[in-house]
Structure 1
Amino acid sequence: MAGTTGSLDVDDPKFRITPTQQMGAACSGALITSLFVTPLDVVKIRLQAQQKALVTNKCFLYCNGLMDHLCTCVSSNGNNSQRHWYQRPSHFNGTLDAFIKIGKNEGVLSLWSGLSPTLVLALPATVVYFVTYEQLRTRLKDWACRDCSNRPQPLWAPLIAGCTARLWAATAVSPLELIRTKMQSKKLSYLEVHEALKSLLQYHGWRGLWKGLGPTLLRDVPFSGIYWVTYEKFKMMNNNKSTFAYSFLGGSIAGSLAAFITTPFDVVKTYRQIEMAEKEILSEPPMLCGASTFSVICNIYKKNGLSGLFTGLVPRVVKVAPACAIMVATFEYGKSFFQQYNMKEYEKHLLNLLRNDLD
């Protein structure tokens, strides 16, 4: 299997992959993406720590290319042997220098520090997202093209499917993310998750499980819509023939464009998420909510101008573009693999029916 669907229609109902097969393709894609992109974020966090951006009892954002995760800094109490990976002392002169020194002085595996806890949420969230997107997109396409199966897919189908899938996935994972962050701040094990849930519900009620979801959706929903419309349009330019290389290029272009357009929302989301964590998650008593999203945008614009709303654009694109490219290319490859399998099974079924008729 060369990773290409040839002349097959990937959405042909006879060969269309099942939700279970979609889950397998998304899961493998998420794992591979995490393995490739995590070192970029580890280096970014170490550079931030060097500039005193990370201090005791504060938060930092960790991302494996698929999802952001709030992590709390834990004091090492001056014990070098117990220093956490983000607190290890060193001096880096840049990104490339950081890669070299971390690999040389701490071992290559240090570049994947913090990967395990993020996979706990990243894998299931990514599976939910991609499976929901595929299910919605194919059904919207079937409905739009019910009178003519040869009609090209309308671009509003991936737009609606992408936005809806991200809305559902982010909403479903938000309570788990808050609970996990609370567990980190109180040093609880996964077996004591009920303690974290009890603490959160005590001060905020059930609605507290979705605190901070607004800023996340403000960035992720538009990003998802822009990304999938761009990617599906790119596929149409190749007559929907999906090779790994073409999917990789399309995912990179779509991810870069979506990251550029939504960077202001990312700046606001990061500001609000960390502020919320420090005031509402890391503290025991309930705290007052911070400024509204609109107020944050206005304050950033007044202080730093338009450039302030695009802070971190370059590192974000550098991280998002390969993450999107690897994820969608791997996902498309998995879809192609399962479709080829379904086609062979369909042919076997037809042969068996033919034999039965002859008998």
Structure 2
Amino acid sequence: MSDKSGRLKDEGSRTQVVAAGATAGLISRFVIAPLDVVKIRLQLQTHSLSDPFLSQKDLRGGPVYRGTIPTMRHIMQTEGLTGLWKGNVPAELLYVCYSAVQFTTYRQVTILLHRTVGEDRLPPAAESFIAGGSAGAVSTAVTYPLDLLRTRFAAQGNDKVYTSLPRALRQIGREEGFRGFFRGLGPGIAQIVPFMGIFFATYESLRLPLSQIDLPFSTGNAFAGMIASVVAKTGSFPLDLVRKRIQVQGPTRQRYVHKNIPEYRGTVATVKAIMRNEGIRGLYRGLTVSLFKAAPASAVTLWTYERALRLYITMGEKAVQDM
């Protein structure tokens, strides 16, 4: 079913694409879970590390994290090894559903563009940007409650805000209503559209050229995915941080590890408040670990996706032959 260029989006049936996307998300999520927890903790840290007057009164009993490795060490010492996988259940569900919806939407939007505009009328980069941005927006909206739950579980310390996923669903629904599950959706959509557009455009531009180069310890596809992730993540990171800050708003705001998270209202107001109180650097807290996480996550996702899809296609062909 692949076209002459062997493009990722044109291979396999709809069911095979869904299965391959879900498999890729599941494996990728488990591998990078500890880095994801560290990123969220750093993004929610609002106090300046260079403030000489910082006191426990300001922290309200919360920790001070300084860099990726020290943060991982601190979490392991105070919360145990399992602390690095907090929020992994909703995150696994998120990544499986998100990846499946993402790759399916990407494929369907591409097919729609071919039917309405023509296969060769749009430049490959423009086609990938439109399809990638659309896939990111749809995936984010559909799976957003799981993203919010992942953030809140990763943000809680030894004092449990939510003891289980079912109780978290009931508590948020009771205390915050249906809208509580979609706190921060605005910056989430605003962030994911350019991120996915830039990601897929960069990936499609680099995949074929890099596949012809003999790269050590990597395939061209994986290396293209790593580069695309770094470029896209850096450009859209401030909105990702804003989304995390808004996700922990509500009646439980002062019960997470960082108990001094300010009250934010709206995307623009949040950006202004962060820049006023923390400076421009405040919008990039956790960027280093985010980049470190994004590269292997996307590489594992795309590497697994393409091999899982190839496996499912082979299994499908074999099943047809055996009939």
TM-score normalized by structure 1? 0.63
C-alpha distance 291-45 of structure 1, shift in aligned 2 (>3 A) = closer
Answer yes or no: is 1:9 the counterpart of 2:6: yes
Q: What is the DSSP-based 3-state SS (H/G/I as helix, E as strand, rest coil) of the residue aligned with 2:12?
A: coil
5+ residue gaps, structure 2, are 50-55, 154-159, 257-262
Letter matched to residue 307 of structure 2: Y
Shift of 1:104: 10
Deviations 1:166-219 (A, max 9, x none): 21111112245557869x746466279556535433xxxx55543321021122
Q: Which residue of 2 aligns with 1:157?
A: 127
Q: Which residue of 2 aligns with 1:137?
A: 110
Q: Which residue of 2 aligns with 1:173?
A: 143
Larger radius of gyration between Structure 1 and Structure 2 = 1
C-alpha distance 236-192 of structure 1, shift in aligned 2 (>3 A) = closer
Answer yes or no: is 1:259 the counterpart of 2:233: yes
Is the 1:17–1:342 Cα contact (8 Å) retained in structure 2? Answer: no
Is the 2:130–2:197 Cα contact (8 Å) retained in structure 1? Answer: yes
Answer yes or no: is 1:234 the counterpart of 2:206: yes
Shift of 1:258: 0.5
Letter matched to residue 123 of structure 1: V
Is the 2:124–2:204 Cα contact (8 Å) retained in structure 1? Answer: no
Q: Which residue of 1 aligns with 2:27?
A: 32
Shift of 1:221: 1.7
C-alpha distance 124-332 of structure 1, shift in aligned 2 (>3 A) = same
C-alpha distance 217-278 of structure 1, shift in aligned 2 (>3 A) = farther
Shift of 1:290: 3.5
1:1-359 equivalent positions in 2, closer than 5 A:
9-10=6-7, 16-42=11-37, 95-96=68-69, 111-141=84-114, 143-146=116-119, 154-177=124-147, 185=161, 187=163, 190=166, 193=169, 196-201=172-177, 207-237=179-209, 245-276=219-250, 278=252, 290-340=264-314
Q: Comparing 299-308 with 184-193, which one deviates more in the overlay?
A: 184-193
C-alpha distance 240-175 of structure 1, shift in aligned 2 (>3 A) = farther
Q: Which residue of 1 aligns with 2:52?
A: none
Q: What is the DSSP-based 3-state SS (H/G/I as helix, E as strand, rest coil) of the residue aligned with 2:129?
A: helix
Q: Distance in 2 between matches of 1:43 and 1:216?
A: 19
Shift of 1:254: 0.3
Letter matched to residue 290 of structure 2: R
Q: Distance in 1 between matches of 2:251 and 2:212?
A: 43
Q: Distance in 1 between matches of 2:221 and 2:7?
A: 14
Q: Distance in 1 between matches of 2:149 and 2:79?
A: 31
Deviations 1:61-93 (A, max 9, x none): xxxxxxxxxxxxxxxxxxxxxxxxxx9xxx999
Q: Comparing 324-333 with 115-124, which one deviates more in the overlay?
A: 115-124
Letter matched to residue 20 of structure 1: T
C-alpha distance 179-316 of structure 1, shift in aligned 2 (>3 A) = closer
Deviations 1:226-274 (A, max 9, x none): 1111111112435899x97111101100000011111222233233333
Shift of 1:29: 1.0
Q: What is the DSSP-based 3-state SS (H/G/I as helix, E as strand, rest coil) of the residue aligned with 2:6?
A: coil
Shift of 1:305: 4.6
Q: Comparing 226-235 with 151-160, which one deviates more in the overlay?
A: 151-160
- What is the alpha-carbon root mean square deviation over aligned residues? 4.6
Letter matched to residue 135 of structure 1: Q
Aligned length: 295
Letter matched to residue 21 of structure 1: Q
Is the 2:238–2:283 Cα contact (8 Å) retained in structure 1? Answer: yes
Is the 1:38–1:111 Cα contact (8 Å) retained in structure 2? Answer: yes
Is the 1:215–1:273 Cα contact (8 Å) retained in structure 2? Answer: no
Is the 2:125–2:205 Cα contact (8 Å) retained in structure 1? Answer: yes
Shift of 1:332: 2.0
Q: Distance in 2 between matches of 1:144 and 1:232?
A: 19
Q: Distance in 1 between matches of 2:272 and 2:41?
A: 30
